[in-house]
Chain A
């Protein structure tokens, strides 16, 4: 085998030019070629103690799959990843690897870590493009499991259980499977055909997907048991969007990030002549600093906005979005208004004509400057208002991206299901809720978090469900 590649820097991920991509919805990162993938794989030292695996919520055998890449056996690499992950093409794109596997990489001590996420994506894309191997449906063990929600936690749980021979049905409230992967994460970061392909793979493994079923409304958890399901996994996601509670949030042109992204992604409002409307163009302010805020801002830009601001009350250092997303946003020309907090959204009002069609549309947003004070109990420096610092930015659309609160539908219709004071479902270390045979994971438990942590929870619950039903 060729010698290790001791370059301190990783192979650069080719991307669309920022000026070009700011006006289209095609994927930003273009992916490694076979040559770059092998070259990058050669940077892996194949450490005995595998610190990277510890950093992975679903414990992918990272050095093992990288070794296969070194050998040019890309399908072999895929088979190793797919033992641990049901959604490799998704994770390779949206996982925050820099704080997980890659943060533990020995190569990162001096220089850059191995580009594990980029390699994972390469392997999954190679498989999806070239592999003719069909997933083999395992023999049924006769046990039926219901999964509520087809987002990352639900699909992972479904995949693991299906591979172990369980008969799995996934119930999805929307008309397309994928949860946040289809309604939330934009096309330019995660093409929808990739999600569809992953769902298709699960269906070939025997997973049934029932769309247009709202658990808590169309059917209840108790009815699922009556229908013969022996265990239920609830991965229903985060739920109701938060608003700031400032004046003017009901003006036309104020969206939650969920609504803005759902209109563009799931409902395809970004296409020409869409059936679903969305406000396009003009000046847009996105309030918040998470990955969802970056997605909303970059979507607004691609929908034709002339100017897009990110308005965040702390500084760049505290901004929670992935570095890569922030860099991409900056390259595309999104302006960061940091240490800045909205106090009022302004709307048009023609006092002489109540029928003026412009009435009630957003015209601007008044903000105050912030400074960071003493750290709070979590160690985060608390932002405080600088007196007399009000200023107004001229905007037509405001997108509130300040988190979500758990959805009440399942709690309200499931007796004995314990939730915490934030409304998140209470679970033990196996993902088991206060109800027998009802498991939960992902944002429904933790509140808004990452795709991969939801997948980790789905995986943990799948193992616990398998153990429980096998012992029964």
Chain B
């Protein structure tokens, strides 16, 4: 069992937890993920690590409430325990040698992008951050991004905060104005990452994307997280858990990944509704 030492509600759908897991905290690097189970018989879900405190032996996770498991997790409080917590898994984001980087985060993906931006900032790299949200209420981590970014552009879909539009607007604008980046690192919804890649393509700027497909074990055993890369015209199957989660954005077959991501859509919607109903009953 793993103790929750701190909980913070970042917005109505996004929650931050600090979990006591010294072995994981000791090894965690930006871009890696953990797998957790909330309770006995619970499903295993992967969540990217949003930070780690080696001294206190805690790992920070930030998640959006999207299904039954994240719903249950969101009802846990500081002092409560979760059943299982394992990691750090996957390959850390390659940051060596990067001097000018554009971080493009969308929604809860910003939580994962933030430690990468921090690490780059500490390395002395010039960090440009573009973070996007549906609206003002869903904005998270503004201060954190301000602290580690040389330039910060905040975008909302409805214009209720920052600039109106999606994250590709300022990205295109900067690239067209001749701004050079060694790398664009983008983390967020698949459709957003697909369009970031498309926006960068005419300029040939390298793009790293962070994939978060369905997983069970997270150690390469099940193959559920497989995705297809197009490498020099050849299709190659890779496992996000051991080969990723970061991939060269130009090689990823996003359409396939989006389709696979919806495999259990009906099941998950139904399970989430049932879980919500249970919590509602408890409240009554």
A residues lining the B interface (CB < 8 Å): 173-175, 183, 211-214, 217-219, 237, 239-241, 243, 245, 249-250, 252-253, 255-256, 258-259, 262-263, 266-268, 271, 273-277, 357, 359-360, 407-409
B42 touches A213 (CB 8 A): no
> A241 — which chain B residues lie within 8 A by C-beta?
221-223
> A409 — which chain B residues lie within 8 A by C-beta?
219-220, 242
Instruction: Add 5 more A-B contacts to A175-B83, A217-B27 (CB < 8 A).
Output: A183-B217, A239-B221, A250-B228, A276-B44, A357-B266
Give chain A nearest CB distance to B231 CB in angstroms: 14
Give chain A nearest CB distance to B129 CB in angstroms: 29
B267 touches A277 (CB 8 A): yes
Interface residues on B, range: 35 or more
B43 touches A276 (CB 8 A): yes
B259 touches A360 (CB 8 A): yes
Task: Tell whether A173 pairs with B222 under 8 Å between CB atoms, given A252-B260, A277-B264, A359-B259.
Answer: no
User: How far is it, in angstroms, between the C-alpha of A273 and the C-alpha of B277 when the chains are bound?
Assistant: 15
Give chain B nearest CB distance to A406 CB in angstroms: 10
B86 touches A175 (CB 8 A): yes
> B37 — which chain A residues lie within 8 A by C-beta?
175
A211 touches B220 (CB 8 A): no
B60 contacts A by Cβ under 8 Å: no
B98 contacts A by Cβ under 8 Å: no
User: How far is it, in angstroms, between the C-alpha of A93 and the C-alpha of B251 when the chains are bound?
Assistant: 46
A174 touches B217 (CB 8 A): yes
B222 touches A262 (CB 8 A): yes
B223 touches A240 (CB 8 A): yes
B216 touches A214 (CB 8 A): no
B221 touches A213 (CB 8 A): no
Give chain A nearest CB distance to B21 CB in angstroms: 9
B residues lining the A interface (CB < 8 Å): 23-24, 27, 37, 41-44, 68-69, 83-89, 216-217, 219-224, 226-228, 237, 239, 242, 253, 256, 259-260, 262-268, 271, 274
12 contacts between A and B (CB under 8 A): A175-B83, A175-B86, A217-B219, A218-B87, A240-B242, A245-B237, A250-B237, A256-B223, A258-B222, A276-B43, A360-B259, A408-B220
A211, A256, A357: which contacts B222 (Cβ < 8 A)? A256
B89 touches A217 (CB 8 A): yes
A263 touches B260 (CB 8 A): no
Give chain B nearest CB distance to A350 CB in angstroms: 12
7 tightest Cβ-Cβ pairs between the two chains A and B: A360-B259, A259-B222, A256-B223, A212-B86, A277-B267, A241-B223, A276-B43
> B222 — which chain A residues lie within 8 A by C-beta?
241, 256, 258-259, 262
> B227 — which chain A residues lie within 8 A by C-beta?
250
B267 touches A262 (CB 8 A): no
> B237 — which chain A residues lie within 8 A by C-beta?
243, 245, 249-250
User: How far is it, in angstroms, between the C-alpha of A259 and the C-alpha of B88 when the chains are bound?
Assistant: 21
**Which of A255, A259, A273, A274 has the most chain B CB atoms inside 10 A of its CB?**
A259
B219 touches A259 (CB 8 A): no
User: How far is it, in angstroms, between the C-alpha of A268 and the C-alpha of B37 when the chains are bound?
Assistant: 13
A219 touches B23 (CB 8 A): yes
**Which of A240, A253, A256 has the most chain B CB atoms inside 10 A of its CB?**
A240
A252 touches B259 (CB 8 A): yes
Task: Tell whether A267 pairs with B23 under 8 Å between CB atoms, given A250-B228, A252-B259.
Answer: no
B216 touches A240 (CB 8 A): no
A218, A275, A357: which contacts B27 (Cβ < 8 A)? A218
User: How far is it, in angstroms, between the C-alpha of A268 and the C-alpha of B89 when the chains are bound?
Assistant: 23
Tell me the nearest residue of chain B to A273, going by C-beta: B274
